[in-house]
Chains A and B, each alone.
Chain A
Amino acid sequence: MGGIPSLGVAAFITLLLAAAATPAFAAQSVVCTDGDSTSVTVVRGQGGLTTAKTVAVSVSDRNWSTDPNVSGPRQLRIAQAFEDANEMLIDLADATAGDIDIKLRLFKAAATATSVVGGGTLWVKDVGAYALTCTGL
């Protein structure tokens, strides 16, 4: 292999595959709204793992957050999160009991070569369900 150590080639291929699996134009934050009083902000991790790092949800005057450094909103934790080129799925659980309290479900579609639109649903236990439009995907 032209003198390139095989371990280096393997690492290079791994990096290429990781880059191909990650949207090149994905922003660090995804911001969603229902056009009224409901919003969601998803902050992605950086580096190789770009799945959701923190999530904040607001419905009218009620707020939830998975960021332990933020006081005020009710604390939840990310129970499971998944994102690929076509969708983003996040379940937030009660910090103690473990019940799923919030479900975010988004589809993604490429509007142009450099922009992606997101749309989907937000379900908040005992509060309501909303259709969302998102940017930053």
Chain B
Amino acid sequence: MRRFALVLLLCLGGGAAPAFATEWIDCSDAGHHASFNFLVGTVDVLSISGLTVTAGKKAWASQPVYGPGALIAVGQAYEDTDTLRVDAMDPGLEAKIAELRLFKTSEADGDVIYGGTLHVPGYGAWAVSCDGP
């Protein structure tokens, strides 16, 4: 009986555990001069656990495992049904390194289309589109 209760408890625990799957959304301009890639979790609100940014030959990454370049951190991040906005900051959260502004829309088959702008102060701005979930 105790063994059955333990199995039942494990099953219920597994069912209640949140899904921790993450997926990258990769954004770049048509000429691949700049990019903003970010790792999102499958939760109800925008949750970014990693990102990389490039502008010309300059690169940033939130962790060395994600890519080369200087360290970068997620500042503000907000998503609703039509837009997605992310500000990337320096690790001390004092200076803005990049602004990603995206509109979202859906094709008939449900695939989400992302399009917008990437502004990296001091380096330029680009129109970008994204691939992701």
Interface residue ranges, A against B (CB under 8 Å) = 35, 86, 103, 105-112, 116-123, 126, 128-134
A105 to B111 Cα, complex, angstroms: 17
Q: Is the CB of A105 within 8 A of B103?
A: yes
Q: Is the CB of A109 within 8 A of B99?
A: yes
Chain A residues whose CB sits within 8 angstroms of the CB of B128 once the complex forms = 119
A119 to B118 Cα, complex, angstroms: 9
* Given A105-B82, A121-B105: A131 in contact with B125 (beta carbons within 8 A): no
Interface residue ranges, B against A (CB under 8 Å) = 29-30, 82, 99, 101-108, 111, 113-119, 124-130
B interface SS class: strand
Chain A residues whose CB sits within 8 angstroms of the CB of B111 once the complex forms = 129
CB proximity of A86 to chain B, nearest CB, Å: 8
CB closest residue in chain A, given B129? A131
A119 to B27 Cα, complex, angstroms: 12
CB proximity of A17 to chain B, nearest CB, Å: 25
Q: Is the CB of A117 within 8 A of B117?
A: yes
Q: Is the CB of B107 within 8 A of A120?
A: no
Identify which of B102, B108, B127 contacts A133 (C-beta below 8 A).
Answer: B127
CB proximity of A63 to chain B, nearest CB, Å: 20
Identify which of A86, A105, A112, A134 contacts B127 (C-beta below 8 A).
Answer: A134
Q: Is the CB of A110 within 8 A of B125?
A: yes
Chain B residues whose CB sits within 8 angstroms of the CB of A131 once the complex forms = 113-115, 129-130
Beyond A120-B115, A121-B105, A130-B113, 7 extra complex contacts between A and B, CB < 8 Å: A86-B101, A107-B117, A116-B125, A119-B128, A131-B113, A133-B29, A133-B30
Q: Is the CB of B125 within 8 A of A111?
A: yes
Chain A residues whose CB sits within 8 angstroms of the CB of B113 once the complex forms = 121, 129-131
Chain A residues whose CB sits within 8 angstroms of the CB of B126 once the complex forms = 109, 111, 117, 119
